[in-house]
C-alpha cells in the first residue's frame, strides 16, 4: 500500500506526510523580534508574540552574531556554519536553511561548514535533548536578518540612497526605484565593514514570504555525498602516518586489568604494538575504562591481534550483576513505598476505598544504542596540542574532556566534528575520543580507535532498566480516582556520582511526575535502585519505560471497564487545561513553563487527529488489532496508532502506523516525517527484541545476531505522519526523540486487541508464541 502510483510525483514524503489544515491561521505568523543582541544569554525576552526558551541556561548559552555564522565570498558563495552535530536528524541542513531563508540567500549558492568544538565562539553545541530547532529557530533567524541588513546597508551606501529603499531578494540587493541591483558577492567586502545591527531593530521576514521554511522541499546538504560514498564519518578520517587501534576493555564495569600477554598478538601480520590504556575507576563520567590496545597498520590486523591477546581481569564490585536477580530486586522495591516525587490528594486512601484497583507491573530491560557507526575517533597529539576528529554529539564537552584528560589548556585542543553514523545519545559521551587522545600521545603518532560492534554492546552507556508499577483505583462508575506510579530504575546520575540510588530531576520529569491525567489522587514515587553498569541517555530516555507503563495502563483500564481505548485515553486526559503538577522544580525539559506548559488541549488534539486520520475504530481482519498511545516529551505532543497482525503461530507484523505530532513551529516537515518513520522502527525494535542482559557482571549479547533490531522485511508496511500546524505564537519543540515513546505501548495495546494477550514485560520475544 505504500507503493507509488505515479513514481514521477514521488518526493518521498509527499505521499505520507500531510500538514493538516486544522487552523487557517498562517504558521509562524508574527513571531516578533525582541531581546538583546546577546552572547551567552537568553535570546528572547517575553514580549508580544515572542517566547522564552531554556537556551540561555545551557552551558555557554546562545551566540547571535552573523560574523560568527555567516560569510559571503566575492563570488557570491555564502558559507553558513552548522554548529550542531549531524546524526541523521537533518540539523546540519535545517539550521543553516533558517539563516539562508532570513538573509534571502539562494540555497543553491550556500555552502554549509561544520563548526569545530568551541562553545565560547558558537554557543552551546550539545546536540541532544531534541533541542536544536527549539533553541535555535529564533537565533538563526536573527543571524540571517542581521546579515541581510548589513548587505542592504552596504548597497544603500554604494548607491547613496536610504537603506529603507533597498531590499535583499534572492541573493541580490535591489533598489526598485532605480532598477539597480548588486549581487551578494559584489557587496561582500562592504557589508563586512558594516556594524552588526542591534537585534531589537531587526525586521524578520513575514512567514508568508518564506521560500524554504515549512516547505520541506530542500534535501539534506549531504545527500549527494551520502549516496556516492563521499560523506565523511568519524570512521572515514585518514591521516598520514595514522595507526589503527582496537582496545580490549574490562568485560565488567569497574573491572581492572591484572595482567596481559601480548606475544601471540604481536605475531599477527600487520600488528605493530600492544600497549596498556589508562582507565579510570567507575563511576567517572565519560573517562575511558582502560584496557589493552593493539596497534596495527589496519583495523583488520588490530582486531585479529586483539583476539590473540591473553588477558586477566579483576572484575571488581559489579562481578555479580545478574539481570534475573536484579529484576526481582526492582520488582520488590516497586511493591513498597518509595521517595514521593509528586503528591496530589491522598492516593493511599483513595486506593483503599476504590471499588476496583487495577495493577500493572511493567518491565523494560537495558537497551544498547547500536548506532550504525560504532564509536570511533582519530586523535593527533603533538606536544601540548591535540587535534581530534570524531563523530561526537558534544564537541564542546569533548574539547573540555580531552584537555582535562591530557592536562593541557582547552585552547590547545581542536575538535573536528565529522558526520555521525547515528548517535541516539551514545555519542554524547566522548570516551572513545579520550582513548584516541591518550594513545596518540603515547605513540607520538595519529591514531584511530575503532570500536567493534561487540565493544559497542559490551562497553556502552546503556539505557536504564526499570520496573514501572502502576495502581489505578476506580470508583463504582468506572472513573479513575486514584493513581500510584512507582518507577524503579538506576539513574544516569550514577555514571557521574557513586552511591546514586534515586532518579535525577530530569528523569523524574520524563513521564513520571509530569503525568498529565486529570485524577484527584496522585502519588508518583521513586524507590531506590543502585546501578551496576554505565547508564546513559538513549533516544527519549526515561520516557520509554514511562510511556510504556502509563499508556499500557490506559489500555488495561479500558480493557477492565469495557471501554474504547481512545475514549478512555481522552477521559483520563480530561478537560483542556494547563497541568501544573505539584512537583518542586518540575524539569520540563529545561524549558520555562510559561512558553512550554503541559497543555492538555494539545495532547487531546493529537489523539483526535490521529484517530481521525488513522481511522481509529476501522474494521480490521481477523488476527489484526489497533492500539493507541499518546505521550508528551521534549515538550512535543505525539500520538500513535499501530495496527498489528498476529498469525496463529504468534508471528507479529505491522501493516500500518499512523502518527500525529504537534512540535509547534517547525522548519522542515520532510525531516520531521523521516524522524517519525525512524522512531516507529526503533520503537518496534525495542518492543520486539530490545534486551541487554547481564550475567556474572558481563553483557550476554554481542552483535546483531543476539541483540536484534528490526529489518526491512518486518518493518511497518506504511507509516503515515500528520503534523499539527502551529498556532501563530507556538514555540518550536522537539522532534528527534518524542516519536519513540508512544510506539511500544500503542503496539502492545494493539496486540491485546488482536489476541487478548496483555504483554507487560519487554521485549515481546517469544511471548506471543505460547
353-392 binders of ligand FES (CB under 6 A) = 372
Cα–Cα separations (whole angstroms), residue 719 to 22, 636, 658, 713: 21, 19, 6, 14
CB of 371 to ligand FES, least distance (A): 8
With beta carbons less than 8 A apart as the criterion, state whether 745 and 552 touch: yes
Q: Which stretch binds other proteins (CB under 8 A): 112-120, 309-317, 515-523, 669-677?
A: 669-677
| Distance between CA atoms of residues 432 and 374, nearest Å | 10
Distance CA 238, CA 43 (A): 39
The one segment of 377-385, 414-422, 521-529, 592-600 that binds other proteins by CB under 8 A: 414-422
Query: Do 588 and 507 touch, CB atoms closer than 8 A?
Result: no
Dihedral angle of Cα 34, 36, 39, 44, to the nearest 10 degrees: -30
- CA 694 to mean position of chain CA atoms: 26
Q: How far is the CB of 695 from ligand FES (least distance, A)?
A: 26
Q: What angle do CA 109, 110, 112 make, to 5 degrees?
A: 150
CB of 215 to other proteins, least distance (A): 13
Question: In the set 231, 266, 275, 560, which binds other proteins (CB under 8 A)?
Answer: 231
What is residue 241's three-state secondary structure?
Answer: coil
Residues in contact with 625: Cβ distance below 8 Å, sequence separation at least 6, in sequence order = 643, 644, 646, 750, 751, 752, 753, 754, 755
- The secondary structure of the chain in percent helix, strand, coil, rounded to multiples of 5, reads 30, 25, 45
Binding mask 71-110 for ligand FES (x = CB under 6 A): -----------------x----------------------
Does 222 sit near other proteins (CB under 8 A)? yes
Q: Is 594 in the site for other proteins (CB under 8 A)?
A: no
678 CB-near residues (< 8 Å, 6+ apart): 88, 739
Decide if residue 223 touches ligand FES (CB under 6 A). Answer: no
Instruction: Report the residue number, 88 or 139, with the smaller CB distance to ligand FES.
Output: 88
Residue with C-alpha cell 511493591? 335
Residue 225 CB, nearest distance to ligand FES (Å)?
Answer: 13
Contact 124, 62 (CB under 8 A): yes
State in angstroms the smallest separation of the CB of 377 from ligand FES: 19
**Which stretch in 267-275, 545-553, 689-697, 758-766 sits in contact with other proteins by CB under 8 A?**
267-275
Beta strands in 90-236 (DSSP E): 110-114, 166-169, 172-175, 180-183
Q: How far is the CB of 306 from other proteins (least distance, A)?
A: 12
Closest CB to ligand FES among residues 372, 530: 372
What angle in degrees, to the nearest 10, is found between the helix axes of 543-561 and 565-573? Answer: 110
Query: Which of 158, 180, 232, 356 contacts other proteins by CB under 8 A?
Result: 232
Cβ of residue 678: shortest distance to ligand FES, in angstroms?
Answer: 8
Least distance from other proteins to the Cβ atom of residue 499, Å: 34
Q: Which helix (H) or strand (E) holds 93?
A: helix 91-103
Task: Please say whether the beta carbons of 161 and 175 come within 8 A.
Answer: yes
Q: Which residue is nearest to ligand FES (CB)?
A: 372
- In the complex with other proteins, the residue whose CB is nearer, 139 or 738, is 738
Nine-digit cell string for 266:
604481536
Task: Using alpha carbons, select from 749, 759, 747, 751 the residue that is nearest to residue 719.
Answer: 747
Whether 96 and 81 have beta carbons less than 8 Å apart is answered as yes
- In the complex, the smallest distance separating the C-beta of residue 154 from other proteins, rounded to whole angstroms, is 37
- Residue 258 contacts ligand FES per CB under 6 A: no
Closest CA to 379 of 367, 387, 391: 387
Evaluate whether 283 touches 498 at the Cβ level (below 8 Å).
yes
Q: Distance between CA atoms of 758 and 760, rounded to whole angstroms? A: 6
4 touches which of other proteins, ligand FES, none (CB within 5 to 8 A by kind)? other proteins
Q: According to CB under 8 A, which one of 46, 67, 224, 267 is a site residue for other proteins?
A: 224
- State the number of binding residues for other proteins (CB under 8 A): 76
Nearer to other proteins, 368 or 406 (CB): 368
Residue range at the interface with other proteins (CB under 8 A); choices 450-458, 518-526, 564-572, 574-582: 450-458
Residues 70-99 binding other proteins (CB under 8 A) are: 86-90
Instruction: Give the position of cell 551567552.
Output: 40
DSSP string for 263-323: HHHHTSTTEEEEEEE---PSS-TT----EEEEEESSHHHHHHHHHT-EEEEE-GGGTT--H
Nine-digit cell string for 299: 583495523
Name which position in 419, 437, 462, 488 contacts other proteins (CB under 8 A).
419
3-state secondary structure of 598: strand
Q: Which of 32, 59, 207, 270 binds other proteins (CB under 8 A)?
A: 270
Residue 713 is a binding residue for other proteins (CB under 8 A): yes
Q: In angstroms, what is the minimal distance from the CB of 402 to other proteins?
A: 24
Least Cβ distance, residue 735 to ligand FES (angstroms) = 16
Cβ 239 to other proteins shortest distance, Å? 12
Q: Report what 398 binds from ligand FES, other proteins, none; CB cut-off 5-8 Å by kind.
A: none
Residue ranges with strand state E in 391-514 = 413-417, 447-450, 466-474, 480-488
Q: Which residue number, 368 or 557, has a Cβ lying nearer to ligand FES?
A: 368
Please list every residue from 283 through 342 that binds other proteins, using CB under 8 A.
297-301, 303-304
CB of 304 to ligand FES, least distance (A): 15
CA dist., res. 379 & res. 708, Å (int): 32
- Cell 596540542 belongs to 385
Cell of 430: 566522548
Which one, of 398, 384, 435, lies nearest residue 277 by Cα?
435
Residue closer to other proteins by CB (options 91, 488) is: 91
Cα 280 to Cα 570: distance, rounded to the nearest angstrom: 50
Q: Least distance (Å) from ligand FES to the CB of residue 743?
A: 18
**230 contact choice in other proteins, ligand FES, none (CB below 5 to 8 Å, kind-dependent):** other proteins
Residue from 54, 251, 422, 725 touching other proteins (CB under 8 A): that is 422
Nearer to other proteins, 736 or 745 (CB): 736
Which sign, positive or negative, has the C-alpha torsion 189, 193, 196, 202? negative
Provide, rounded to whole angstroms, the least separation between the CB of residue 671 and other proteins.
8
Q: How far is the CB of 671 from ligand FES (least distance, A)?
A: 12
- Applying CB under 8 A, the span of 5-13, 143-151, 166-174, 439-447 interacting with other proteins comes to 5-13
Question: C-beta of 429: minimal distance to ligand FES in Å?
Answer: 19
Residues 315-334, interacting with ligand FES (CB under 6 A): none
Which is closer to other proteins, CB of 147 or CB of 376? 376
133: three-class secondary structure by DSSP: helix
**Stretch 403-462 residues interacting with ligand FES (CB under 6 A):** 422
Residue 581's binding partner out of ligand FES, other proteins, none, with CB under 5 to 8 Å set by partner kind: none
Among 167, 320, 453, 577, binds other proteins (CB under 8 A): 453
Identify the H or E element spanning 341.
strand 339-344
Give the nearer residue to other proteins in terms of CB position, either 220 or 449: 220
Q: Which three cell numbers stand for residue 482?
A: 486514584
Residue 322 contacts which entry, ligand FES, other proteins, none (Cβ below 5-8 A, type-dependent): none
Residue (4 or 359) nearer to other proteins, CB: 4
Q: Which residues bind ligand FES (CB under 6 A)?
A: 88, 372, 422
Amino acid at each position: 500500500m505504500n507503493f507509488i502510483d505515479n513514481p514521477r510525483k514521488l518526493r518521498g514524503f509527499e505521499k505520507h506526510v500531510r500538514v493538516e489544515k486544522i487552523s487557517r491561521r498562517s504558521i509562524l505568523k508574527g513571531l516578533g523580534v525582541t531581546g538583546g543582541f546577546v552572547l551567552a544569554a537568553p535570546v528572547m525576552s517575553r514580549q508580544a508574540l515572542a517566547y522564552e526558551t531554556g537556551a540561555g541556561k545551557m552551558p555557554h548559552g546562545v551566540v547571535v552574531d552573523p560574523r560568527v555564522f555567516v560569510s559571503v565570498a566575492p563570488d557570491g558563495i555564502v558559507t553558513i556554519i552548522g554548529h550542531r552535530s549531524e546524526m541523521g536528524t537533518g540539523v546540519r541542513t535545517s539550521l543553516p536553511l533558517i539563516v539562508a531563508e532570513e538573509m534571502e540567500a539562494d540555497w543553491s549558492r550556500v555552502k554549509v561548514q561544520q563548526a569545530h568544538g568551541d562553545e565560547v565562539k558558537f554557543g552551546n553545541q550539545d546536540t541532544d535533548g531534541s533541542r536544536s530547532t527549539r533553541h535555535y529557530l529564533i537565533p538563526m533567524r536573527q543571524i540571517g536578518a542581521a546579515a541581510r541588513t548589513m548587505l542592504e546597508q552596504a548597497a544603500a551606501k554604494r548607491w547613496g540612497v536610504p537603506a529603507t529603499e533597498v531590499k535583499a531578494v534572492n541573493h541580490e540587493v535591489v533598489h526598485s526605484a532605480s532598477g539597480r541591483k548588486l549581487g551578494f558577492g559584489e557587496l561582500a567586502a562592504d557589508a563586512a565593514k558594516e556594524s552588526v545591527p542591534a537585534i531589537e531593530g531587526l525586521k524578520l521576514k513575514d512567514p508568508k514570504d518564506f521560500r524554504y521554511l515549512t516547505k520541506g522541499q530542500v534535501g539534506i546538504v549531504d545527500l549527494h555525498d551520502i549516496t556516492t560514498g563521499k560523506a565523511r564519518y568519524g570512521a572515514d578520517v585518514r591521516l598520514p602516518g595514522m595507526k589503527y587501534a582496537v582496545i580490549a576493555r574490562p568485560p565488567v564495569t569497574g573491572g581492572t586489568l591484572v595482567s596481559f600477554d601480548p606475544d601471540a598478538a604481536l605475531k599477527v601480520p600487520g600488528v605493530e604494538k600492544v600497549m596498556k590504556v589508562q582507565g579510570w575507576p567507575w563511576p567517572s563520567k565519560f573517562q575511558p575504562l582502560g584496557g589493552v590496545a593493539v596497534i596495527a597498520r589496519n583495523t583488520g590486523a588490530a582486531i585479529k591481534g586483539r583476539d590473540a591477546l591473553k588477558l586477566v581481569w579483576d572484575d571488581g564490585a559489579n562481578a555479580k550483576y545478574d539481570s534475573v536477580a536484579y529484576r526481582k530486586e526492582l520488582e520488590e522495591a516497586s511493591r513498597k513505598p518509595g521517595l514521593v516525587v509528586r503528591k496530589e490528594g491522598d492516593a493511599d486512601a483513595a486506593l483503599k476505598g476504590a471499588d476496583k484497583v487495577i495493577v500493572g507491573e511493567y518491565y523494560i530491560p537495558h537497551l544498547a544504542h547500536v548506532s550504525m557507526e560504532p564509536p570511533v575517533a582519530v586523535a593527533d597529539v603533538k606536544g601540548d596540542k591535540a587535534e581530534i576528529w570524531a563523530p561526537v554529539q558534544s564537541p564542546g564537552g569533548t574539547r573540555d574532556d580531552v584537555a582535562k584528560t591530557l592536562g593541557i589548556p582547552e585552547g590547545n585542543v581542536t575538535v573536528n566534528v565529522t558526520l555521525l553514523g547515528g548517535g541516539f545519545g551514545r555519542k554524547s559521551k566522548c570516551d572513545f575520543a579520550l582513548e584516541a587522545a591518550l594513545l596518540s600521545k603515547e605513540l607520538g603518532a595519529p591514531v584511530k580507535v575503532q570500536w567493534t560492534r561487540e565493544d559497542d554492546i559490551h562497553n556502552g552507556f546503556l539505557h536504564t532498566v526499570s520496573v514501572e508499577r502502576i495502581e489505578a483505583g476506580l470508583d463504582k462508575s468506572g472513573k479513575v480516582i486514584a493513581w500510584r506510579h512507582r518507577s524503579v530504575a538506576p539513574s544516569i546520575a550514577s555514571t557521574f556520582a557513586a552511591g546514586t540510588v534515586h532518579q535525577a530531576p530530569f528523569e523524574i520529569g520524563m513521564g513520571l511526575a509530569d503525568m498529565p491525567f486529570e485524577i484527584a489522587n496522585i502519588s508518583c514515587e521513586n524507590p531506590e535502585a543502585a546501578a551496576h553498569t554505565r547508564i546513559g541517555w538513549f533516544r527519549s530516555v526515561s520516557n520509554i519505560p514511562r510511556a510504556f507503563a502509563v499508556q499500557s495502563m490506559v489500555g488495561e483500564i479500558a480493557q477492565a471497564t469495557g471501554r474504547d481505548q481512545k475514549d478512555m485515553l481522552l477521559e483520563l486526559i480530561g478537560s483542556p487545561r494547563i497541568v501544573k503538577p505539584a512537583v518542586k522544580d518540575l524539569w520540563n525539559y529545561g524549558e520555562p513553563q510559561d512558553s512550554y506548559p503541559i497543555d492538555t488541549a494539545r495532547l487531546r488534539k493529537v489523539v483526535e487527529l490521529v484517530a481521525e486520520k488513522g481511522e481509529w475504530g476501522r474494521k480490521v481482519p481477523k488476527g489484526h488489532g489497533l492500539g493507541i498511545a499518546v505521550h508528551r516529551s521534549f515538550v512535543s505532543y505525539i500520538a500513535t496508532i499501530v495496527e498489528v497482525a498476529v498469525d496463529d503461530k504468534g508471528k507479529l507484523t505491522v501493516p500500518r502506523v499512523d502518527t500525529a505530532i504537534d512540535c509547534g513551529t517547525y522548519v522542515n516537515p520532510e525531516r520531521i516525517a523521516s524522524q517519525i518513520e525512524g522512531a516507529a522502527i526503533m520503537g518496534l525494535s525495542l518492543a520486539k527484541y530490545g534486551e541487554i542482559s547481564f550475567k556474572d557482571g558481563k553483557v550476554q549479547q554481542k552483535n546483531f545476531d543476539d541483540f536484534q533490531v528490526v529489518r526491512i522485511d518486518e518493518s511497518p508496511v506504511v507509516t503515515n505522519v500528520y503534523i499539527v500546524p502551529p498556532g501563530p505564537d507556538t514555540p518550536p519543540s522537539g522532534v528527534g526523540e518524542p516519536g519513540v515513546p508512544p510506539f511500544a505501548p500503542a503496539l502492545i495495546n494493539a496486540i491485546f486487541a488482536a489476541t487478548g494477550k496483555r504483554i507487560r514485560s519487554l521485549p515481546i520475544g517469544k511471548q506471543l508464541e505460547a
